[in-house]
Structures are given as structure tokens and as C-alpha cells.
Amino acid sequence: MKQTLRPTGIEVIGNIPWGTHFCHFYQTEEDLLSIQVPFFKTGLENNEYCIWVTSGQTTVEKAKNALKEVVPDLDKYYKHKSIEILSHHDWYLINGQFVLDNVIRSMLGRLQIALENGFAGLRLNGDEAWMDQRTSHDFMEYERFLNPAIAEKRLIISCSYQLSKCTATDVLDVALLHESAVSKRKGRWEILETRDFITSKGQLNQERELLKKRVAKSSSELNRITEQVKKERSERKKGAFSLNKSELYLKTIVNTSDIAFVLFDSDSHVLLFNAIANYWSILSFGVPLKKGVYLPDLLNDEGKSKFKEMMKAVLLGQSLNYETSYQDQGEFQEWYRVSIHPVKDDDGKVVGVCCAASNITRDKLAESELQRISGRLEQRNKDVDKFAFSLSHDLRAPLANMLGLARMLKGTNVPQSERPELESFLFQSIEKLNDVVYNLNRILELDKTLSLKKAKVNLTELVNEVSSRYKPIAKQDAIRIYTDFNEVSEIFTIVSYLESIFFHLIFSSITYNQTGSPPVIEITTEKAPGKVILHYKNFGKGGYRKGTTAETGSYKMLNSSTRGHFVALSIVQTRVEILGGSISVAMLPGGGNDYRIELPLE
């Protein structure tokens, strides 16, 4: 067969000989069609029988429409039976199964028909987006058999692979099974094997044919030369294949690494860099890396001075390891762990510098969060100790009274006339102990039902809901609550925690009310930058006065001199801190407290 070169219609590939099996990778459907359409247009214009096998999002109808846009007289080729556009079901599968031998027999059968009908040869493309894990192994075997199957035949086969369905290993495996590989991502070509290699193959085949004609009269010499050419061709292809494989491996490993690599010469000019290094340069400095750029030009004055000192040390043979941070273009601080090492030649002379950097921002944030949590746990432990101390006092005081009174009643020296009074005191202590246990149970039962779900909370509805829970333990007029949420009526927070805060504050106001009259509560909101300030005012004997405020600077850290208060208020403080806020308290004129709670709006 005369080894004339055939145009592919694909600029980066150019002309190729019959018997070529190449592949291309694409990212979008637009990338795919921009390769396939000129490929088949060129085949039709050069009297080749064309078979287009579609898959994935590219349907048969889409393929026809796309081809017709650049081949207006496409109907003429259909009438002449120059082209078939099939789905992968009709070409690769029989009863839903992929059988290697059937596909190859079908392809060679189509070639025979094409030649009998006067076509120059067969041009075929298959989009392999239909493959899954069950069929990938068998299909790779099919790809492996195609090269010897189409050798010396008037066949050109192109295989299309979607990048989003390929791992780095898949790309390597596929590329190594084809004579050439190119990629197109968002309109940009990436050549994994240059067309010089393809051209050299065609030229080699032409030279072989020429040699055959020149030594046709001497079969012995012809066989010797042919074997020699085959051996040279095999060695050349093996060398190119090995080099291409090594470069492809190295390129894939470096560009898929999450570690940034930059190589400088001894004058701090960039020689090489990988994709992640370029991305971080844009993130940190606002500009991409370029070969030959003088790196100190990307740094501020302080950074330039430090970099020059480090380069001086590395060029003297030292290796450096350190952590640093940069403000990205969005004013967010990014942390990096950097290693800088000298690059030496065979004589040990430093000829360049290799810099590797990994982003440790997540680790730094985790470390900061761990310290914050540790601090909160330490504070929580202190609060638990205070809680336990207060609870112990609340339980021990009535219990001690009960034991003392019981001993007195048991004694025989107590006059009969004093016994009723002692018994009354005993029952009062019992009731007080019962109240402590009952209140503690109510607090603990409520905490069991808490959820960590965040949602938008309507403050009026929330206060009404919490207030309704006290109807079983208080008369309708035993508590008065006034609200004013005009400044901030809704916040986004953990609903159950905010509900718990209001519950325990109101609980404390009712349970430990010492005014002798129904408690009066006022709850208002105040808007501040990025946060809301809740004022919970529990009025004392001075009575309720709308708009009452504490003196400026009189707010103090939350504390309680009343032991019973501490159980509920310590829970309030814990809930507020978990929500990312703070709480303080001030005395109101005439008695009562103003609890100031600061919470983030979101």
C-alpha cells in the first residue's frame, strides 16, 4: 500500500498516514464538536467513507446538525452513502454487551464495502463517554488490538475521551495505547505528542516503500533492508514511546500535586513551575507566574529583603524550611509551609534553587479552633465546678436543717408546746429541698431536647412560646412581660439555644422573685454592627418604668449572689458563649437586673 499522507482537518495533528490510530481528550461538548466536525468534513471532501459513533450528551441529531453547519451539501453525501452517524448502542453493543471481536469484524467489513464502492478508505471516530467500570477493561483490550488490526490498511481511527470521566492513570493508559494524543480544554489545545512524530512515521513508511521498489529484483536484499528498517522503526518508536511516557508521567504527577513547585536560576528568575504554583501566585500576588519573571518583583519591600537574604543562604548550599502567610486579593490570610533547596550540578556547584510550598491554612485554622475550644472547655470546667458548688449548697442547706430539726424532735427534752413550731420548720425545709430538686429536673429535662439546628428566629414568637410554658406553674397574671423588637425582630441562630436562654432567664425571674409582687420583665433589642444586643430587664421592688437603663459603664461579668440563681444563669452564660456571644449584668434603679446579651446577627 502506498503510504500517502491524509489530511485530518485537525490543525495540531496535520497530515497522517493510513493505519493511524490516535486519540484526543475533551472537556466540553463544544470542545468535542470542534474536533469531530472538521475531522469528518475533511474525510468527506477527500472521498473517504466516514463513520461517526456518538455517545454521552452528543446525540445523533446533534452531530448531524453540527456537521451540516459546515457542510451545507451534507444531504448529497448521505445520498451517496458516504457517511454514517450512529449511537454507541448501534456500533459497540450487541444485546447490551460489548464484544471485542464483533466490533473489529464490523469495522473491517465496513472497510471492505467502502473500497468496493470506490472510496479511498475508511475514517472512523468513536466517543467513549458511554464506558463504565464494567466495560472499561474490555474496551482497553479493544484499543490495544486496534493498532495491529489496522496496520497496512486504509483506515484512520480517532478515539474521543471525556476528561471529567478520566483519572490521571486513565489518561496515561489511554495515551500509551495510541500513536498520538492531544487534548482540548475550553477551546485551548494541549499536545501530549507532537505531530512531528506522526509525520516522521509517514515519512518512514514512504522510505520503506521506496526501498522496496529499488530492491524488488533482489528479494534477499529486500528482506534484509526491510527487517533493518522495521528494527530501526521499532527502536525509534520505542525510544519516543519511552520518552513520551516518562514526560507524561512527570507532567501528570507535578501538575496534579497539591504542592507548589517553582524552579529559579541563580539570579532568581523563574525557570519552571506547576499549575498550583501559578494559582497561588494569582491568589497571593494578583498576577500569574511566567517563565523568566524576576520573582522579587512580585513581593513588597519587606518580602524582597527577606527573599534576597534567603537566596544568598541557599546559593551557599543551605536548605531552608519555614512557615509564612500572605493576604490574598480578598484580604484573607493564607498560610504556607515553604522548603527551599539548592540545585547542584555534577560538580556540586549550585546552579539554581527549587522552592516547594504547601498550603497549611486549614491546619492553622484547625489549630486556632482547637485553642479556642480548649479555652472554652477550661472555662466550662470552671463553670461546672461553680455549678456543683452552688448545687451542693442548695441541697445541703435544707438537708442540714432537716437533720437538725429531726434530732430536736426526736429528743425528749423538747417541750410539747414547741413541737408544732419545730415540725412546721421541718416541713418548710422539706418543701425547700423539693423545690430545688424540682427546678433542677426542669432545667435538665429542657436541656435534653436541645437541637443544634440553625434557623431564622422571630423574637416575638419565641418569647410568646417560652412564656406559654409557665402557665401550669403560675397564674395568668403572675408574670408580666413587655417586649420591643423594633430595631431587630429576627436573627439567624441555633433556635433551641436561644429558646433555652429565654427559658432560664424567665425561670429565674419567677422562681427567685423576692419582690413580693408578680415579676415584671422587659425584653428589647438594640442593633450594632454585625450583632444584636438583647436587654432582658427583671424589675425589682422599684417597679416597672418603660425605657429604664443602667448607668453607663455599670455592666459587669455575669454573677449571682443568690445560690439558686446560679444554676439557671450559669446555663444561660454557657448557651450565650456557644452562640458566639457574651453576657453581662447591671443593677437597675430601685432593684432588679438588666442582663445585656450580645449575639452575632448570623
Q: What is the domain-level CATH number for residue 580?
A: 3.30.565.10
340 and 464 within one domain:
no
pTM above 0.75, yes or no: no
Residues 149 and 44 in one domain: yes
Q: CATH number of the domain that 149 lies in? A: 3.40.50.300
378-401 per-position pLDDT tens digit: 766 665 565 565 566 566 667 777
Instruction: Return the closest-CA partner of residue 188 out of 24, 23, 22.
Output: 24
pLDDT above 70: residue 536: yes
Q: Is the pLDDT of residue 354 over 80?
A: yes
Out of 305, 328, 359, pick the residue that ends a domain. Answer: 359
pLDDT higher than 90, residue 64:
yes
Mean pLDDT, the chain, integer? 79
Please indicate, yes or no, whether residues 188 and 268 belong to a single structural domain of this protein.
no
Do 185 and 263 lie in one domain? The reply is no
The C-alpha angle with vertex 514 and arms to 513 and 518, in degrees rounded to 5, equals: 55
CATH code of residue 295: 3.30.450.20
Of 171-175, 532-536, 588-592, which one has max mean pLDDT?
532-536
Predicted confidence (pLDDT) at residue 65 exceeds the cutoff of 90: yes
* Same domain as 26, residue 166: yes
Domain boundary among 166, 193, 220: 193
Q: How many domains does the chain have?
A: 3
3-state secondary structure of 535: strand
Among residues of the chain, what percentage have pLDDT more than 70?
A: 75
- Residue whose C-alpha is closest to residue 495's, from 527, 461, 526, 528: 461
149 pLDDT higher than 80 = yes
**Boundary residue ending a domain (359, 377, 402):** 359
**Domain-located, residue 188:** yes
In a shared domain, residues 161 and 285: no
In a domain, 529, yes or no: yes
Co-location of 185 and 290 in the same domain: no
Average pLDDT (431-458) is: 66
Q: Is residue 383 part of a domain?
A: no
265 and 156 housed in the same domain: no
**Same domain, yes or no: 456 and 332:** no
- Higher pLDDT: 299 or 91? It is 91
Range of the domain at 500: 449-600
Residue 43 has pLDDT above 90, yes or no: yes
Amino acid 205: pLDDT: 53
Which of 70-79, 224-233, 259-268 has the highest average model confidence (pLDDT)?
Answer: 70-79
Helix count (H) and strand count (E) of the chain? Answer: 16, 24
Shared domain for 166 and 54, answered yes or no, is yes
pLDDT value of residue 188: 80
Residue 419 lies in a domain: no
pLDDT digits (tens, 9 = 90+) for 8-28: 999 888 899 999 999 999 988
Say if residue 48 is in the same domain as residue 153.
yes
Cα–Cα nearest to 66, from 90, 41, 45:
41
For position 562, what pLDDT does the model report?
46
Quickly state the pLDDT bin for 450 (edges 50, 70, 90): low
For residue 580, is it within any domain? Answer: yes
pLDDT of residue 22: 92
Say if 510 falls within a structural domain: yes
Inside any domain, residue 336: yes
Percent of the residues in the chain that have a pLDDT greater than 90, as a whole number? 22
- The whole-number pLDDT of residue 163 equals 87
pLDDT band at residue 172 under the 50/70/90 scheme: confident
- Looking at the domain assignment, is residue 152 inside a domain? yes
Are 181 and 265 found together in one domain? no
Q: Residue with C-alpha cell 493508559?
A: 173
